[in-house]
C-alpha cells in the first residue's frame, strides 16, 4: 500500500493527490475512507461498497446531492458512524431581520447579549460524574490485568494470557466512553441550537475576541 501511495503521488499531474501520511497501530480512531459511488435504496437504506446495504433514517437529506467521499468510523462506544462528503445545491437563505447584536462570552453564563438576554452554560455534570466513576474502574481493572500478564510472563507459562483476553476492563472502557459521548453530544446539540437561533434572529453578530491560551492556563476557566 505504501509503494502504491508514493507512485500515485509522483505520477499525479493534477496536484490533487498528496503525500501518504503515517498512521500508527496505536492510533485510536478506527476508520477507512472510500471514493466509490453510494446509492440510496428505498427510504431507509444506503448501498455502500464492500459493506452492502446499511439501514439509516437520513436518506431524505441526500436527495439532489452527489456523494463524493465516505468515511466509516468505529467509535470507542462500539457504534459505527458513516460520514459523507456531498455536493449539494445552494441552500436557502434566511430572511433578513435588520437587527444587530453583540455577544459577551462568560463563564457563569455562556453568552450575554447586548440587549440584556442571557443564555446559561450547559450543565452536563450528571454524565461527567458517571464518566469519572467509570474512568477509575477502568484504570484499576487495566492495572490489575497488566500485573497478571506480567506474572504469566515472569513464570514462563506455556499459554500466557494477553491483555486483550481480559474483557472486564474492556467493558469498563466502553461504559466510560458512552458516558463521555453522551455529555459531548448533548453539549454539541445545545451549541448548535443556540447558534442557529442567533443566526436566524440577527443579521450582524459581534463577538468579543478571547485569548484562549490565557484561559487554558487557569484550570477553573479552561473548560
Quote the CA–CA distance of 121 and 159 in Å, as a whole number. 54
Give how far Cα 160 sits from Cα of 145, 147, 171, Å: 12, 12, 22
Report the DSSP beta bridge partners of residue 175: none
Show pLDDT as tens, one digit a residue, over the chain (223 residues): 678 888 888 888 787 888 887 766 666 678 888 887 888 887 888 888 888 888 887 788 888 888 888 888 888 888 888 888 888 888 788 888 899 999 988 777 888 999 989 999 888 889 999 999 999 999 999 999 999 999 988 888 888 888 888 999 999 999 999 999 999 999 999 999 999 999 999 999 998 877 777 777 777 766 6
**What does the angle CA 66 – CA 71 – CA 73 come to, to the nearest 5 degrees?**
150
Q: What pLDDT, on a 0 to 100 scale, did the predictor assign at position 33? A: 84
Write down the pTM of the prediction.
0.72
pLDDT of residue 27: 64
| Predicted pLDDT of residue 86 | 86
pLDDT of res. 1: 64
**100 within 8 A of 202, measured Cβ to Cβ:** yes
Amino acid at each position: 500500500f505504501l509503494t502504491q501511495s508514493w507512485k500515485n503521488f509522483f505520477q499525479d499531474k493534477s496536484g490533487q493527490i498528496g503525500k501518504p501520511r503515517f498512521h500508527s497501530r496505536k492510533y485510536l480512531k478506527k476508520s477507512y475512507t472510500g471514493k466509490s459511488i453510494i446509492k440510496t435504496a428505498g427510504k431507509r437504506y444506503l448501498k455502500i461498497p464492500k459493506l452492502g446495504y446499511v439501514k439509516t433514517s437520513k436518506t431524505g437529506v441526500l436527495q439532489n446531492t452527489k456523494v463524493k467521499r465516505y468515511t466509516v468510523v468505529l467509535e470507542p462506544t462500539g457504534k459505527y458512524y458513516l460520514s459523507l462528503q456531498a455536493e449539494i445545491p445552494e441552500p436557502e437563505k434566511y430572511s433578513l431581520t435588520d437587527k444587530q447584536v453583540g455577544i459577551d462570552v462568560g463563564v457563569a453564563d455562556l453568552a450575554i447579549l447586548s440587549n440584556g438576554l442571557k443564555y446559561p452554560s450547559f450543565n452536563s455534570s450528571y454524565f461527567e460524574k458517571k464518566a469519572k466513576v467509570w474512568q477509575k474502574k477502568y484504570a484499576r481493572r487495566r492495572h490489575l490485568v497488566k500485573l497478571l500478564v506480567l506474572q504469566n510472563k515472569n513464570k514462563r507459562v506455556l499459554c500466557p494470557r494477553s491483555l486483550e483476553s481480559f474483557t472486564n476492563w474492556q467493558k469498563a472502557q466502553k461504559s466510560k466512553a458512552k458516558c463521555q459521548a453522551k455529555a459531548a453530544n448533548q453539549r454539541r446539540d445545545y451549541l448548535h441550537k443556540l447558534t442557529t437561533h442567533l443566526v436566524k434572529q440577527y443579521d450582524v453578530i459581534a463577538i468579543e475576541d478571547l485569548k484562549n491560551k490565557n484561559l487554558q492556563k487557569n484550570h477553573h476557566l479552561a473548560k
